[in-house]
């Protein structure tokens, strides 16, 4: 069991969702390495500025703490990037297949077809992407300052690395050299936790062993135990070189241990949101729905749009009012708890939170036991190894809510120790398929790769025996489309230094 | 050769076991059959069509012809045979996560059985002793076992409904129809060719196209 993480060795974006620290802006850069020596020098220069996971400000338990920086910088590599940096073959061949292949070649697993097909991605994904660099900052000034610094390092590499262009932007740009992302603001200019469909996002990231303040955060976010309590997940689900839920070191870690330990894999996806299609769809469907439009929107996601209230605890308009009152009255910790601490034990049939709702599909908690008493070793037996850390921010602005073809969506990043077992499994088996939910091929409503040739439907279940028919949602359009992305390896600080020095030795 | 047909995977694993300890395994199998409660984990795993464990005595292997020399076997063998939906990894992972102690009991005394947790030695053990499937026929390549079960339930319910509702008033008919939908609300899943079981196998797609042709 890992009780203390070496936070000075782990990149900050693995442990921290920077958005939660009021870093409202992000910029993502992608680079190609043209020359091994110069590429390693570039990595060395960037490494000096890489943000670690060390706590900011004063920490309660006397841990080492540093002042919160003005801007953060993190770096990761594709498989071909590591090849270009001339890692030894003995190390390279030990990376997992999914990472070696990269995201576009995994399209048949991910369901990236039709409008999500790699053919339709931003132009940059036709390039050889080797390096990902992220910059997060509270404001654009700090962000641009760091961006300019990175650009100087590119310049100084003397052709060793190229900053790639080809990101689509909001003003008909096709060739931007960066992808910007930002929290969305309300009408008075205050930052919100919303995405473009109006849902409150980023609640309930998994909590694992070794993180700080685990006891307070683990409710509803760790793994569900038989006695109803929650325990942090094993560190090795999210960090290589640590024991995972199968009581072993992740086998996705290449040797030497110094190269992989405290690193992880990241899935980067630019997800376009068809805002007009979503609004039209919600309007149409709510005409035949017995509850309010907001209640129907909550059925799609499993959370109410305005404050993220889990629908399993606020299943209709009346109970939502009650929930809101209790939420208002709760203190900070109580609010957090109301948002995350729940199960589907009282909703085995999906009458409150439908089986096709986003929340239930991406984290079914104990519900895959289907109420069979102690069916499995532990209630989350089929869930605990399918969790992902989610990072990212919305991008773009909805200029015309009646059109789908703007540039707006979410930069989604999933971090996990095993892309195939965690991210890809959730995407393939739980979002685009539903055998585990006994719903055949019915897809998750919001993210499913619905297609017009074979129109999707979803069943919003009701109480069994009530005599009421379930509500059917028909002709679900493709609401979210993939516009690009790849699989990256986020090395530890130690590994970055070894890579930069050309000293990786698998012996 | 293909272990995959449509959405299903056929797995055969044959493992050596000391002949004089097989009675314990047989006892476990018998107990499991007598007390179905012990198999509830297996039964709740909805990706499984079925699973079967058989002990083959060391003198029990068939010969094609009396002229085929009898083998002198040192061990008895345990045959594990299962059909399931999803990929090899998904199945073996689900098994070990959900019912690790049950697996350990069934494979108890098998030679070099490493226990189901940690995962990698178990993976290696199963793969090492797996006999790949030479030919595999699937009558419903697009269906998972849950789809077949649901289809049976829907068919029966519809036939019953039809028989009972023919003389009802419009209001009663609607009431009964709503009741029918309520009873079947977990059996309306669509059936489509996805997901692919493995990237190296496009069988699902091919079969689907065959069924359309």
Find, in chain B, the residue whose alpha carbon is nearest to that of A374: B41
Q: Is B175 within 8 Å of A467 when comparing Cβ atoms? A: yes
User: What residues of chain B lie within 8 A of the CB of A428, using their CB?
Assistant: 195
Q: Which of A382, A385, A430, A449 to mutate to test the interface with B (most CBs of B within 10 A)?
A: A382
Taking chain A (507 residues) in runs of 10, the rounded mean pLDDT of each run is 84 95 97 98 98 83 78 98 98 97 95 96 97 98 98 98 96 94 95 95 91 89 96 98 96 97 98 97 95 98 97 97 98 95 96 98 95 93 97 94 93 98 97 96 97 91 96 96 98 98 94
Half-sphere exposure of B1 (CA within 13 A, CB side): 5
| In contact, A38 and A158? CB cutoff 8 Å | yes
Q: How far is A346 from chain B (nearest CA, A)?
A: 17
| In contact, A285 and A460? CB cutoff 8 Å | no
ipTM tops 0.85: yes
Q: Scan for tokens 């697009």, then name that residue.
A: B142
Domain B4-131 coded CATH 2.40.50: no
* Distance separating alpha carbons of residues A198 and A401, to the nearest angstrom: 12
Q: What is the mean pLDDT of chain B?
A: 90
Q: Which of B40, B185, B188 has the CB atom closest to A375's CB atom? A: B40
pLDDT tens figures, B150-199? 999 999 999 999 999 888 999 999 999 999 999 999 999 999 988 888 77
Find, in chain A, the residue whose alpha carbon is nearest to that of B7: A435
Find, in chain A, the residue whose alpha carbon is nearest to that of B149: A438
For residue B196, how many other CB atoms are within 10 A of its CB? 19
| In contact, B9 and B195? CB cutoff 8 Å | no
pLDDT of residue A212: 83
* Distance separating alpha carbons of residues A117 and A165, to the nearest angstrom: 20
Q: Is B146 within 8 Å of A438 when comparing Cβ atoms? A: yes
Identify the CA nearest to A95 among candidates A240, A208, A245, A236: A240
**What is the pairing mode between strands A456-460 and B48-56?**
unpaired
Could you tell me if B98 lies within 8 Å of chain A, comparing CB atoms?
Answer: yes
Give the pair of three-digit tokens for residue B99.
């019912």
3-state secondary structure chain B: CCCEECCEEEEEEEEEECHHHHHHHHHHHHHHHHCHHHHHHHHHCCCEEEEEEEEECCCCCCCCCCCCCCCCCCCEEEEEEEEEECCHHHHHHHHHHHCHHHHHHHCCCECCCCCCCCHHHHHHHHHHHEECCCCCCCCCCCCCHHHHHHHHHHHHHHHHHHHHHCCCCHHHHHHHHHHHHHHCCCCCCECCCCCCCECCECHHHHHHHHHHC
pLDDT of residue B116: 93
pLDDT tops 70 at residue B202 = no
Identify the CA nearest to A297 among candidates A410, A398, A446: A446
Sequence ranges of the domains in chain B? 4-131, 145-212
């Amino acid at each position: 069991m890992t009780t203390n993480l070496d936070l000075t060795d782990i990149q900050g974006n693995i442990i921290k969702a920077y958005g939660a620290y009021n870093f409202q802006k992000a910029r993502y850069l992608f680079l190609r390495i043209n020359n091994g020596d110069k590429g390693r020098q570039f990595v060395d220069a960037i490494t000096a500025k890489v943000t670690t996971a060390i706590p900011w400000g004063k920490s309660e338990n006397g841990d080492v703490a540093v002042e919160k920086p003005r801007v953060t910088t993190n770096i990761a590599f594709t498989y071909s990037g590591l090849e270009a940096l001339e890692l030894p073959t003995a190390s390279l061949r030990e990376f997992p297949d999914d990472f070696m292949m990269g995201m576009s070649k995994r399209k048949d697993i991910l369901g990236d077809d039709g409008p999500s097909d790699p053919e339709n991605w931003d132009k940059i994904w036709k390039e050889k992407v080797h390096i990902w660099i992220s910059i997060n900052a509270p404001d654009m000034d700090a962000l641009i300052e760091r961006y300019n610094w990175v650009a100087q390092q590119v310049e100084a590499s003397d052709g060793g690395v190229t900053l790639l262009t080809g990101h689509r932007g909001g003003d008909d740009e096709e060739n931007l050299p960066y992808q910007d992302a930002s929290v969305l603001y309300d009408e008075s200019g205050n930052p919100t936790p919303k995405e473009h469909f109006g849902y409150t996002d980023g609640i309930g990231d998994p909590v694992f062993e070794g993180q700080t303040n685990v006891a307070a955060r683990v409710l509803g976010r760790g793994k569900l135990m038989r006695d109803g309590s929650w325990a942090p997940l094993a560190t090795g689900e999210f960090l290589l070189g640590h024991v995972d839920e199968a009581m072993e070191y992740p086998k996705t870690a290449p040797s030497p241990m110094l190269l992989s330990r405290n690193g992880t894999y990241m899935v980067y996806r630019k997800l376009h949101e068809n805002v007009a299609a979503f609004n039209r769809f919600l309007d149409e469907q709510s005409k035949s729905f017995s509850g309010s439009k907001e209640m129907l929107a909550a059925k799609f996601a499993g959370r109410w749009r305005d404050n993220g209230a889990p629908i399993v605890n606020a299943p209709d308009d009346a109970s939502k009012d009650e929930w809101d009152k209790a939420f208002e009255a709760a203190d900070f910790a109580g609010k957090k708890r109301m948002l995350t601490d729940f199960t589907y034990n009282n909703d085995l049939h999906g009458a409150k939170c439908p089986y096709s709702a986003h929340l239930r599909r991406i984290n079914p908690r104990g519900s895959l036991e289907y109420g069979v008493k102690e069916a499995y070793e532990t209630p989350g037996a089929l869930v605990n190894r399918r969790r992902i850390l989610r990072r990212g921010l919305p991008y773009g602005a909805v200029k015309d809510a009646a059109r789908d073809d703007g540039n707006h969506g979410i930069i989604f990043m999933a971090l996990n120790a095993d892309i195939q077992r965690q991210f890809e499994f959730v995407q393939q088996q739980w979002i685009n398929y539903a055998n585990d939910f006994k719903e055949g091929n019915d897809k998750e409503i919001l993210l499913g790769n619905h297609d017009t040739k074979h129109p999707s439907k979803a069943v919003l279940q009701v109480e069994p025996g009530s005599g009421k028919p379930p509500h059917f949602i028909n002709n679900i359009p493709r609401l979210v489309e993939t516009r690009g992305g790849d699989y990256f390896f986020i090395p530890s600080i130690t590994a970055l230094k070894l890579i930069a020095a050309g000293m990786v030795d698998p012996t | 050769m293909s272990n995959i047909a449509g959405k299903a995977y056929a797995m055969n694993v044959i493992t050596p076991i000391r002949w004089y300890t097989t009675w314990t395994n047989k006892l476990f199998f018998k107990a499991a059959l007598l007390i179905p409660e012990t198999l509830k984990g297996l039964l709740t795993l909805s990706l499984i069509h079925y699973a079967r464990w058989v002990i083959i005595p060391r003198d029990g292997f068939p010969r094609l012809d009396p002229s085929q020399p009898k083998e002198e076997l040192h061990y008895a063998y345990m045959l594990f045979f299962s059909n399931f939906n999803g990929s090899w990894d998904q199945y073996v992972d689900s098994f070990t996560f959900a019912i690790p102690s049950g697996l350990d009991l069934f494979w108890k005394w098998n030679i070099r059985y490493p226990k189901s947790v940690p995962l990698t030695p178990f993976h290696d053990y199963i793969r090492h002793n797996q006999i790949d499937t030479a030919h595999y026929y699937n009558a419903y390549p697009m269906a998972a076992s849950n789809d077949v079960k649901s289809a049976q339930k829907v068919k029966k319910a519809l036939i019953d409904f039809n028989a009972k509702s023919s003389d009802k008033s419009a209001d009663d008919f609607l009431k009964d129809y709503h009741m029918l939908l309520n009873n079947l609300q977990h059996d309306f899943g669509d059936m489509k060719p996805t997901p692919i079981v493995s990237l190296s196998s496009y069988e699902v797609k091919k079969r689907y196209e065959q069924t359309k042709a």
